[in-house]
Amino acid sequence: MAKLWGGRFTQDSSSLLDSFNASIAFDQELWEYDIAGSKVHAKMLLSIGVLKRSEYESIINGLQSIAERIKKDEFEFKIVDEDIHMAIESALIDLVGEAGKKLHTARSRNDQVALDFRMYVLDYNRKIRLKILDLMDTILEVAKEHTDTIMPGMTHLQHAQPINFGFHLVAWCVSLKRDYQRFSDSFERNNFLPLGVGALAGTPYGNDREMMAKDLGFKAPTLNAMDTVSERDFALDMLYDISMLLMHISRFSEELVLWSSYEFKFISISDAYSTGSSIMPQKKNPDVPELLRGKSGRVFGNLMGLLSVMKGLPLAYNKDTQEDKEGVFDSVKTTMISLEILKEVLASMRIYPENMLKMAKIGHLTATDLADFLVREKQLPFREAHHITGEVVAFAEKKGVDISELSEDEIFQITSLKLVGIEKILDIKTSMNARDSLGGTSTRRTKEQIDDLKNWIDEKKNG
């Protein structure tokens, strides 16, 4: 079959070349953007006098009917068409004849693919951001209910100080906010129109790129033709933003896996989002967070893949860049479903505050509060207070209780210090609420942080 570019060729291409060279199997994903770009390009050709109105109209109608066919799954994507750009262009020529042959004036597949792919990336940048907001909303709904639910806060995965569960969830949310902002920054940086730069050096037709940028919703046209057809920074930004997001999701997932184990039993994941074992009938496995953790590895790979494709390319367009798409499509789809399912898992999980509290009473989490009390009430130097507290901890250990369970009298026996009100001070909840500095875990500060994030989300949703 004759190729759209076949004029200078005397021999048919080998079928091996056709399948090796073709991107149609995956870049059909871009069809909607390709058609949108072609419509605007046709409008521009009309405005600079390349197309007559009747030709313009038949092109627009032709593109529209191709779009309908693709939507209804009635369009045949053929390997011989090579890529989505030529598939649509040759279908258009079949449909409307001569006028269709004029569409590729003042345009190259190099700027066409740069446009389509960028539109895809920006479109999903928006979609992913909306999903991040939904996930944050869900997390904050849970957090709101648990600003008083004591759990052990950890460092080095060891019990450290009492916190509340809401506060822990807010910590997740703050990293999601940064992720959102990272996507926004990339969006702003890349929101420029590639179309109209031709193959690499501009065109002799005086393409009205400003008009096309405006029509397609870009901020402005890109600056330099060569850079435009050759760079894939917008796709790398996307892959990096996704990698950061999924790195965070992987960390949350690790905690969900731990928390749902018998050793913690802080939560249980709903049956709807758990799986069984084929051999051990008693098992309920947290496959969703495990997969989320695993999928982060996969999207990091996609980022490394495209960086490696790009690193040795001379200006301008090189066919290597055809390898830019599959990893991005894969990362985008992985992200969309990951955000969705994590939200469902969190909304439906069961939480066990009594187990969290039980664990918060292991490990003398309020020891620092005793030392602080000695500094404050007895004007002891902190080092001395630290030492005395150590002795109290040793006593509690020997007795087999937590420091929060000792009485004022027992503490007097060990320290010879009359510490009025110490029982209250060593209480786990008092300790949590004592951490009331800006950004701290106290219920009051946690609620403040939740409100702050909620206001920010509302602003983003309505802005």
Q: What's the closest the beta carbon of residue 333 comes to ligand ARG, in angstroms?
A: 18
Cα distance between residue 18 and residue 325, in whole Å: 18
Residue 386 appears among annotated catalytic residues: no
Is the separation of the CB atoms in 79 and 18 below 8 Å?
A: yes
Crossing angle, helix 109-145 and helix 443-462, to 10 degrees? Answer: 150
Q: What's the closest the beta carbon of residue 116 comes to ligand ARG, in angstroms?
A: 9
Query: Sign (positive/negative) of CA torsion 14, 74, 321, 291?
Result: negative
Residue 277 appears among annotated catalytic residues: yes
Task: Specify the DSSP class assigned to residue 148.
Answer: T
Is the Cβ of residue 319 or residue 383 nearer to ligand ARG in the bound state?
Answer: 319
Q: Which of 277, 308, 348, 407 is catalytic?
A: 277
Mapped onto helix, strand or coil, the DSSP state of residue 388 is helix
Is the Cβ of residue 83 or residue 369 nearer to ligand ARG in the bound state?
Answer: 83
Q: What's the closest the beta carbon of residue 201 comes to ligand ARG, in angstroms?
A: 13
Give how far the C-alpha of residue 171 lies from the chain's centroid of Cα atoms, to the nearest Å: 16
Buried b (16+ CB within 10 A) or exposed e, 68-100: eebeeeebebeebbbbbbbbbbbbbbebbeebb
Is the Cβ of residue 23 or residue 125 nearer to ligand ARG in the bound state?
Answer: 23
The encoded tokens of residue 88 equal 């649509």
The site for ligand ARG (CB under 6 A) is made up of: 23, 27, 83, 109-110, 113, 317, 319, 321-322
Q: Which of 25, 3, 22 is nearest to 329 (CA)?
A: 25
Cα distance between residue 141 and residue 347, in whole Å: 8
Is the Cβ of residue 328 or residue 434 nearer to ligand ARG in the bound state?
Answer: 328
Q: What's the closest the beta carbon of residue 90 comes to ligand ARG, in angstroms?
A: 14
Q: Which of 47, 48, 92 is nearest to 67 (CA)?
A: 92
Q: What's the closest the beta carbon of residue 322 comes to ligand ARG, in angstroms?
A: 4
Is the separation of the CB atoms in 282 and 367 below 8 Å?
A: no
Q: Which of 156, 278, 416, 437 is catalytic?
A: 156
Is the Cβ of residue 324 or residue 369 nearer to ligand ARG in the bound state?
Answer: 324
Active site residues: 156, 277
